[in-house]
Structure 1
Amino acid sequence: MNYFAGLDIGSTAIKVALVDEEGGLAGVHVSDSGSLFHKNAKAALGLLLERHGLVREQVKYLIATGYGRKLFKEADDSISEITANAIGAFEVGKAFGGVRTIINIGGQDSKAIQIDATGSVSNFAMNDKCAAGTGRFLDVAARNLDIDLEELGDYHFNGKGVPLTINSTCTVFAESEIIGLLANGHGKEEIVAGIHYSIAKRTLRLAKRVGIEDRVYFDGGPALNKGLVAAIQDELQRELVVPEHPQTTTAFGAAILARSEFLSGNA
C-alpha cells in the first residue's frame, strides 16, 4: 500500500502524520525539534515508519510545513502552516459536525484562522511579535514555578482562591511578575490559573479579529493543557473542539494534501 506524509517542523516540536491511500490516518509521531531541524525531522519520519513496519519508498509524496519547512529538502513540496492547519482541522472537524474557526497556539506564535464551507482559508490573524500568548510562555512559567509543564492543568483546577491577574504583555516582564507573586506568598495554583486566563484573553482578541463562527477548533501542543482549555472556553463562552492529537493537526493537513496532489497527478 502507498502512504503519504505530512511533516510539520515547528520551533519546539516536530510532528509527522501518515495517511493511507483512502485518506485515513495511519499514524502520528511527535518529537522535540532541538537545534538540528533537518536531522531530527528525518529521524522523526524514520521512527514513525519503523513503528508501522514501513520503509521510506512506500511514502509516495511528502509535504513539509511549519517553521523549518524549507530546511527539509527531501520534501516533494512545502506549504504554509496556515494552509496545512486549515486542511487538517477541516477534515478532523467533520467528526464534530464541522468547524469554521481555528485557534492554534504553537511554541513561538498563536493564530486564529477562519475557514469557509469548503475548508479554504478566508481570514487569519497571527501573534508572532511576543511569546506571551504562546507555548513558550507556558514553558517559562512552569520553569519559574518549578512545575512540570504537564502538571499546569492540574494546578489550574486545584486553586482555592481567585485566579491572579498577569498584566504583562511580554514574556520577560511576565516572568518577573510571576516571581514577584511567588515572593509575596501567592499560591502556585492561583498564579497558574492567572497565566491561563492571560493567554485566554489574548486568544479571544485574536479570534475576534477573524470572526468567531460555529464550533471553535483548538489545536497545538498547549491544547493538551486542560486548564488552558477551560480558561479559553470561559473567555469565549463556548465549548472548544479539541482533537485527540492536537499537536498533529497541521501535519495531518499536509499529509492529506500530499495524498490529493499525488492522486490528482500533480506530483
Structure 2
Amino acid sequence: MNLDGDILGSSIVRSKIDPEETSNLAIAEAMKGIEGLNSTKDFAYLIGTGYGRNRVPFANENISEISCHAMGVHITDPTIKTIIDIGGQDLKGIALDENGSVKHFAMNDKCAAGTGRFLENMAATFEMSLPEFSQMSLKAKCAVPITSQCTVFAESEVISLVAQKKSPADIAAGIHVSVAKRCITMLKSAGIKREVTMSGGCAKNLGLKSALEKVLGFEIVALSTDPQLMGALGACEFARKKVLVAKASNQASR
C-alpha cells in the first residue's frame, strides 16, 4: 500500500509449517512488478499479523488479526458494524465501533468445527473441491440436519447419510447450515448489529453465505475488496498511519 491508501500489490499463498517461510513467499509475490520494491528493506513500515505474526523477523511491529480484520473491513466499507471472520483455523465474531476499532469479539479456536478446514474435509468426503461442494449445496431442496459438532463425528455422520441415499446436495446444505448456526452463536456473544459482512477465505463460499443469510434473516454485505485480504489490508492501513504520524512529527520538530 502507498501513503495514499492505494493497494499496489497483493498475494494469497497456502500456509506452510514455517510462518517465516510463508511470509517471505507471500510478500515476494505481492512485490512482483512494483517499482522500487525489491526486498522487505524497501518498505517504510511493515506489520505482521495472524497466528505467525511473532515469527516474521522483518516486521516493524505485530498486531492481532482481530484488529487488522476490523480495520481492513472498516476502510473498505465504513457502514459495517459486525464481521463474521471464518478462516482456515478458527471463526470469530467481531463487533466494530464507529471508528472501526474492535468493540467486542468472540472466538472459537479450540475446535476445527465451523472453520475452513472443516469445510475442506467435508468437501473431500464427497471427493470434490471446496468450490464444487459450495455450489452443490445451493442446489439443495431440503437441508439435512447435521447434529455432530465435532469434525470427526460429523464426517462419520455424513458417510452414514450418504449410505442412506440422502441427496448429496441436501447433505451439503445441511453441513453449511450447521456451520452457519455455529457462527451465529459466536456472533451473539460479540453482538450482532447491521450491517454485517464476512471476511476470511470462507467469505468466498457462496453456499455458506446463503446459509448464514437464511439463519440471520437478512442479507450479508459483500465487500468490494477480496475478503481474504482483509487482515493484510488492515495491517497495511495501520502501517500507513504509523508512517504518516512519523512524517508529521518530523515536520513539526523542524
Query: TM-score interval w.r.t. the shorter chain?
Result: over 0.9
Instruction: Tell me the distance in 2 between the aligned counterparts of 1:52 and 1:231.
Output: 40
1:152 alignment counterpart? 133
Distance, in Å, in 1 between the alignment partners of 2:107 and 2:240 is 28
Match of 1:185 among 151, 165, 172: 165
CA contact (8 A) 2:10 2:31 kept: no
Match of 2:73 among 73, 83, 89: 89
1:30 aligned onto 2:12: yes
Please say if residues 93 and 217 of structure 1, whose CA atoms lie closer than 8 Å, have aligned partners that are also in contact. no
Q: CA deviation at 1:25?
A: 1.9
Q: CA deviation at 1:119?
A: 1.1
**Aligned: 1:65 with 2:49:** yes
Distance 2:76 2:69 in 1: 10
CA deviations 1:47-88 (Å, max 9, x no partner) are 111143432243211101001111111111001111111111
Q: Partner of 1:150: helix, strand, or coil?
A: helix
**Aligned mates of 1:188, 1:45 — CA distance in 2:** 40
CA contact (8 A) 1:152 1:225 kept: no
2:80 corresponds in structure 1 to: 99
**Are the aligned partners of 2:83 and 2:197 in contact in 1 as well (CA < 8 Å)?**
yes
Structure 1: how far apart are the matches of 2:142 and 2:177? 11
Q: How far 1:143 moved relative to its partner?
A: 0.6
TM-fit CA distance, 1:198: 0.4
Q: In terms of mean alpha carbon deviation, does 109-118 or 206-215 score higher? A: 206-215
Aligned to 2:23: 41
Q: 5+ unaligned residues in a row in structure 1: which ranges?
A: 1-18
Give 1:239's aligned amino acid. E
Counterpart for residue 34 of structure 2:
52
SS at match of 1:178: helix
Q: Deviations over 1:15-56 (max 9, x none)?
A: xxxx11101222221010122321121021011111434322
How far, CA to CA, are the matches of 1:165 and 1:125 in structure 2?
25
User: How does the TM-score come out when normalised to structure 2?
Assistant: 0.92
Task: Give the secondary-structure state (helix, strand or coil) at the position aligned to 1:61.
Answer: coil
Q: Is the 8 A contact 2:82 2:197 kept in 1?
A: yes
What's 2:90 paired with? 109
Q: Highest Rg: 1 or 2? A: 2
The count of aligned residue pairs is 245
Structure-2 separation of matches of 1:68 and 1:41: 9
Give percent identity, aligned residues only: 39
Check whether the contact 1:219–1:242 (CA below 8 A) recurs between aligned residues: no
Q: Distance in 1 between matches of 2:28 and 2:117?
A: 27
Q: Which amino acid aligns with 2:175?
A: I
Match of 2:45, SS state, is strand
Query: How much does 1:153 deviate?
Result: 2.2
The question of whether the paired residues in 2 share the 8 Å contact of 1:110 and 1:134 is answered with yes
Tell me if the contact between 2:147 and 2:154 (Cα under 8 Å) persists in the aligned partners: yes
Q: Which runs of 5+ in 2 are unaligned?
A: none
**TM-score, normalization: structure 1?**
0.88
Structure with greater proportional strand content:
1
Q: Which residue of 2 aligns with 1:172?
A: 152
